[in-house]
Structure formats: structure tokens, C-alpha cells
Structure 1
């Protein structure tokens, strides 16, 4: 067996080994998703707070004191946000519940006849209680199976609720320990990197940290600013559900234009039901609010808070979040953006290596064999110098 064949077999076994390692990692993420969720979320919070802890350390504070200060500030900000947002959201939900009969009447008397007239499909008959009862009697066996499934889901949801409470209690504890020991964790991971690859891995890790940190911190500020702008603006123009619509639009504005589009649709529905018809003044003012908010995001907030060097395309963000949620549930959604940031950096590094390769640059003008220079076809086709 030749030396080249042995090298190919060794390379294949090495790739197979890494493939098995990745398969085990994916299986563990899938199997331990509910348990890993508070750890991953706490690690993200610890990573976000570590730069501030390092700054406090540089000013002479001890690590424990710096971590305690940052942790207290994070808790106070969370409590302040809850104290401000919860009463407003509660009042908006009460307004929404009080308006449900109006929404129902508008849906049955206005929207439904309009849809039936345009499509020719009788939808109202499916909402008749007597027809629903007859349908259940006709398919009672299937209904029993659905009921059993539903009650089983309720029972599982009870255990899930208990697990959610436990995770909520664990989250601040885990966040504190991640903040305190973040630098040690980074050092231990760096110590496992092969020495001949340390420079490359350090560079890629630094670039991934910059991309993800810039995106998350900046986009979080953009979401808060846009949510506040939309909520204040819609409430100011007289939309009773303006705060709720504005907050929803701000929460999903991590994807450019998506928050404004969803918010505009919700504003349109809320305004039509509120006025029992089309109030052009309210609709035009709502459109002005969302247009102004989008211009503010595009020309002021994103350039100043996020910047152009982040490189996470909105389509990549949507795909990463949806794919992570589909594969690993809420844990996958938490890991989606870090994985997307690392993948973005790795793709850029692969492109850089490709541009430096012979495949991209082509063969050199001449190949030296011993003391004889053998010209390539490209060199032969070049005209002689004048």
C-alpha cells in the first residue's frame, strides 16, 4: 500500500471521527434541550455582561465586586422594566378583552360577509354551534381520541410549568456564576486548542465575538427604541391598543422591515375595529408613525447602534431562528444567532483561504523542475515584451 493511500485512509478516519463527534453533540442537544435551556441563556447573559465586568476590574475592582455590581444592575434593570411594562401591558390586555365583543361583531357582520362575497365559500355555517355539535356526534370516536390527547397534553404541560419555574429560579444563580468564572472558562477552552492552530482559532473566536456581540447588543437597543417609539406614537394618535401593537412591533423588529410590516397590519385591524369602519385620519397617522419609525431605524438607530460591519443578513437571521426552533425547540432558538455568527465568520475565513489558493489564483507562470523552467500554457500565450 502506497504512502498516498495511507494518508487518504488516515484523513477519512479523521473526518469520520469528527463526524461522529458532531452527531453525538447534536443528539445530546436534542435529548437534553429542556435541561440545557437555562444554562445556555445564563451563558449568553454572562457573555453579554463580561465586558462591563472587565472594565470594572481595570478600574481597580476585584472580580467578585465587579460581578456583584454588574449582576445587581442587570436585576435592577429587569425589575424596572417589569414595573414599567407590566401595568401598561395589563391595561392594554384589559382593553383588548373589553373590546372582544366588538371584534367578534365586526368579524361576523363585516369581515366574514366580505370574504364570503369575494370567494363564494360559506364560512359562517362552520361557526354555527348546532352544526359543530352534529359534527362532533358524527365523529365522536375521533373526538374522544383528540380529548385524550388534549388531557394528556394538559398533564404534560403541568410538569412543563413546574420545570419552567425551576429554570426561572436557576437562571439568576447560573448567570452569577457564569459572570464570575467567564474568563476562567475561556482560558480552559483556549488551553485545549492545538498550539499550531492557536493563532487562527483565536482570530476566528475574536471575530465571532465581535459579530455576535455587536449584533445582539446593538439590535437589542434598536428593538427597545423602536418599540418605545411605536407605542408612544400609536397611543398619541388615539389608537387604544397602541402600546400593545407598538411593543409587538418592537419585539420582532430584529428583522428589518418585519416589525414595521406586522405592526402596520395590527394597527390597521385595531383601527378599523375601534372606529367600526375606515377612519382615514387614524390610518394615515398610523402609517406616518411606522414610516417615521422605519426611517429612524434605517438612518439613525442601526448605523449608530449596530453598524455595517456585523454582516448578519436578515434572511440568515430568519432562517437560523426558524431552523434552530424546528430542530431543538427553544434551546435551538437561543443557539441560532451564536451559530449563525460563527458560521458567518467561518464562511468569510473559507473565502479568504480560497482566494489565496492555487485553485482561485491559477497556476504560476512557470514551474521549476530542477534547473529547467517549464512554461504553462497561459505563459506561452502571453505576447513577448516589446
Structure 2
């Protein structure tokens, strides 16, 4: 048999591997599309189980059985989430509603300030450039107002009903509990189902996927939470109107490269300018909060918590968010980053296999360096 297509024993040829993974992704996307209306508690429950499994495993090492360890960890998490919900969510919701309602007013105030500064702008930039700056600011503010209206309508249109909220709150911990309870047996079952000859190769891919997923869910999730807490706390401490809401928005959007920072920075600077001017040092303080934390995040938090485990191009990540969000709604947004991470692992694996194949190396390097024919 030709070694160019078969390769050494224990490895799959490139064509079969590509077909298998393409088929897997087609099946996965089709399943997501069919069941997209009921997936939310299962997706969140699975992510919660994946996130909490190391804690459950640690409790097992301390002589807890799997059932008790799962129950203890989940009850602690539910208690923490419930406490946060009771103490913070009503205040955050009030601020977000107020922010959305006040945004058009902030836009009008900023536009008025720009007109007030028109003589100085004419003197600094010249009449033509000053007029161009004024038009640009006016257009941007109009877009902000329009965006706020769209966001409000989308939230109202896609908001969860009381029944769906109750269902989500009940089913999500149940899904997480049973996944955590059977986690080890599911992993062993998956291991036993793998083809024996290709098992080492597939396990290597799965380890890379696990590392990437850990970077997404645990590492990126940790950065997201820390960002949200810092921005919300810092902006509230300086007395920025709706600082808690703006900070949480900036932090929670930070999983999209540059979007969380950009949205939070634009909102904060606009509000600070209207609220604090002519106390320019307060505006500068808000500016320093974002710039300083961006430096800390990029040089301390991200390398420590995430490192190079995700290794996703920001353009590919934004495309995945837009595409999956358009196809599957909110569930698609939740799945976009993990699936992009998995896709990145598989693409890198495919590139490695391609570079080791006879198609790339040429017929004289067929298979793994053996003769072109057997």
C-alpha cells in the first residue's frame, strides 16, 4: 500500500482526519441549530461543571466521596451567586436602566459643549478642521444614541420571561450536579471509545483542547471578573454617574478583544466630561483608571491567568462571536469563544499534519520519510 496515503501504523492519514473533524463540526452546528431554544441551562451547567471539577477533585483527595464533594461545592457556589444577586443585581439593573435612558441627554450635552468650544477649536485647528471635528463628534453621538435605542429594544424583545428565568435557575444547577457527579466516568467512557491505534494522537488533541478551554473558561473568566470588579469599584469611588453599571459593562465585555475597554472608556469619558467639567483633573482621573488598568491587565493579569493557552487571533474571535451570535442568539455568544478555541486547536493540528505530509514535503518524503511506495 502507498505510504503517502496510509502512513505508519497507529496514525490516521490527513484526509481521514480532516473528514472526521469536519463531520464532527457539521453535526455539532446542526445540533446547536436544532436545539438552540433549550440549550442555555445545559451550556451554562456544562461550563459550571467544567469550572468546578478541580474543586470537587480536590475535596475527593480530602476523603470526601464524589457525591458529597459535588453537593458541597455546588451549594457554596449557589449561596455566593444568590447573595450577589440579592445584594447587587437590583442596584445594577437600576443603574443600567438609568444609563440607557440618560445616554441621549449626555449626547446632547456633549454636542453643546463642542459647540461652546468652537471658537477655541477654530483658533487651534482652523475653520475647516474645526467644522470637521464638530461634524464627526455629532455623528458619533448620534450613533451612540441610536445604539442605545437598539440595545434597549433588543433587551426588551429578547428578555427572559419569569417562567424561563425560574426554569433556568432550577435546571442549570441540576445539570451541573449530574455532570460533576459523573465526570470521571464520562471521561473514562470517552477514553474507552477512542480507536486504539489512534488513541495517543486523539488524546494529544484533547489535551490541547482542554488546555485551551481551561484558558478560556478559567483564565479568561477570571480576567473578566477582576476587570468588572475593578472598573465598577474604581468608577464608583471617583463618583462617576452610573459608574457601577459602566464598570460592569466594561468588565463583562472584556472577553471581546478591545471592545470592553473601548465601550467602557468611551462611556466613562463622555459621562465624566459632562459631569465634572471644568474640573479637568477628574476627567483625567477617569482616563488614568482605564489606561492604568489596561497596562496591568495586559502585562500582569492576562499573562498570569491566561498565558498562551487560548492562542486565538482577535479577528477570528470577533468573527466567531458575530457569527454564532447571529445564528444561535445568546447561547451562540456563550459558545463562540470555547468553540473558537477548539477550532484553533484543530486548525493548528491540521497545519502540523499538512507540513508532515507528502503533499507538503513532496513525493520523495512520503509518509514519515519512508519510501514512496511499499
The verdict on a shared fold, with TM-score over 0.5 as the criterion, is yes
Deviations 1:199-258 (A, max 9, x none): 111111111011111222111111222222222222333312222211111111123433
C-alpha contact 2:269 2:287 (8 A) present in aligned 1: no
Provide closer, same or farther for how the CA distance between residues 246 and 364 of structure 1 changes in structure 2, counting only shifts above 3 A.
closer
Counterpart-to-counterpart distance in 1, 2:219 and 2:42: 23
Deviation at residue 267 of structure 1 after TM alignment: 0.8
Aligned-residue Cα RMSD (Å) equals: 4.1
Deviation at residue 180 of structure 1 after TM alignment: 0.8
Residue of structure 2 in register with 1:62 after alignment: 65
Q: Which has the larger radius of gyration?
A: 1
Residue of structure 2 in register with 1:208 after alignment: 209
Counterpart-to-counterpart distance in 2, 1:242 and 1:179: 37
Residue of structure 1 in register with 2:243 after alignment: 242
Confirm or deny that 1:251 pairs with 2:252.
Answer: yes
TM-score by length of structure 2 reads 0.74
What is the DSSP-based 3-state SS (H/G/I as helix, E as strand, rest coil) of the residue aligned with 1:249? helix
Residue of structure 2 in register with 1:129 after alignment: none
Confirm or deny that 1:43 pairs with 2:46.
Answer: yes
Deviations 1:129-155 (A, max 9, x none): xxxxxxxxxxxxxxxxxxxxx9xxx9x
Deviation at residue 368 of structure 1 after TM alignment: 7.3
**Pairwise mapping of residues 122-271 of structure 1 onto structure 2 (< 5 A)?**
162-271=163-272
Confirm or deny that 1:76 pairs with 2:79.
Answer: yes
Provide closer, same or farther for how the CA distance between residues 323 and 168 of structure 1 changes in structure 2, counting only shifts above 3 A.
same
What is the DSSP-based 3-state SS (H/G/I as helix, E as strand, rest coil) of the residue aligned with 1:252? helix
Deviation at residue 191 of structure 1 after TM alignment: 2.7
Counterpart-to-counterpart distance in 2, 1:18 and 1:310: 20
Residue of structure 2 in register with 1:347 after alignment: 347
Counterpart-to-counterpart distance in 2, 1:322 and 1:101: 26
C-alpha contact 2:209 2:345 (8 A) present in aligned 1: yes
Deviation at residue 332 of structure 1 after TM alignment: 2.0
C-alpha contact 1:321 1:337 (8 A) present in aligned 2: yes
Residue of structure 1 in register with 2:95 after alignment: 92
Deviations 1:319-357 (A, max 9, x none): 222211112222222222222122111122222222322
Counterpart-to-counterpart distance in 1, 2:159 and 2:261: 36
Deviation at residue 105 of structure 1 after TM alignment: 6.1
Provide closer, same or farther for how the CA distance between residues 93 and 251 of structure 1 changes in structure 2, counting only shifts above 3 A.
closer
Q: With CA pairs under 8 Å and 6+ residues apart, which has the higher RCO, 1 or 2?
A: 2
After TM superposition, the structure 1 stretch with the greater mean CA deviation from structure 2, 209-218 or 346-355, is 346-355
* Structure 1 spans left out of the alignment, 5+ residues: 124-149, 371-386
Provide closer, same or farther for how the CA distance between residues 13 and 80 of structure 1 changes in structure 2, counting only shifts above 3 A.
closer
**Count of residue pairs the alignment pairs up:** 331
C-alpha contact 2:106 2:270 (8 A) present in aligned 1: no
Counterpart-to-counterpart distance in 2, 1:36 and 1:285: 43
Deviations 1:94-152 (A, max 9, x none): 864896795486378667999999559x99xxxxxxxxxxxxxxxxxxxxxxxxxx9xx
C-alpha contact 1:271 1:279 (8 A) present in aligned 2: no
Deviation at residue 197 of structure 1 after TM alignment: 1.7
Deviation at residue 62 of structure 1 after TM alignment: 0.4
C-alpha contact 2:45 2:176 (8 A) present in aligned 1: yes
Residue of structure 1 in register with 2:127 after alignment: none
Counterpart-to-counterpart distance in 2, 1:53 and 1:110: 56
Counterpart-to-counterpart distance in 2, 1:367 and 1:223: 50
Provide closer, same or farther for how the CA distance between residues 288 and 19 of structure 1 changes in structure 2, counting only shifts above 3 A.
closer
Provide closer, same or farther for how the CA distance between residues 112 and 197 of structure 1 changes in structure 2, counting only shifts above 3 A.
farther
Counterpart-to-counterpart distance in 1, 2:303 and 2:22: 40
Residue of structure 2 in register with 1:287 after alignment: 287
TM-score by length of structure 1 reads 0.72
Deviation at residue 298 of structure 1 after TM alignment: 1.0
Deviation at residue 313 of structure 1 after TM alignment: 2.9
C-alpha contact 1:238 1:282 (8 A) present in aligned 2: no
After TM superposition, the structure 1 stretch with the greater mean CA deviation from structure 2, 89-98 or 173-182, is 89-98
C-alpha contact 1:219 1:254 (8 A) present in aligned 2: yes
Counterpart-to-counterpart distance in 1, 2:105 and 2:257: 33
* Structure 2 spans left out of the alignment, 5+ residues: 7-13, 119-130, 140-152
Counterpart-to-counterpart distance in 1, 2:222 and 2:18: 42
Deviations 1:145-166 (A, max 9, x none): xxxxx9xxx9x97996533432
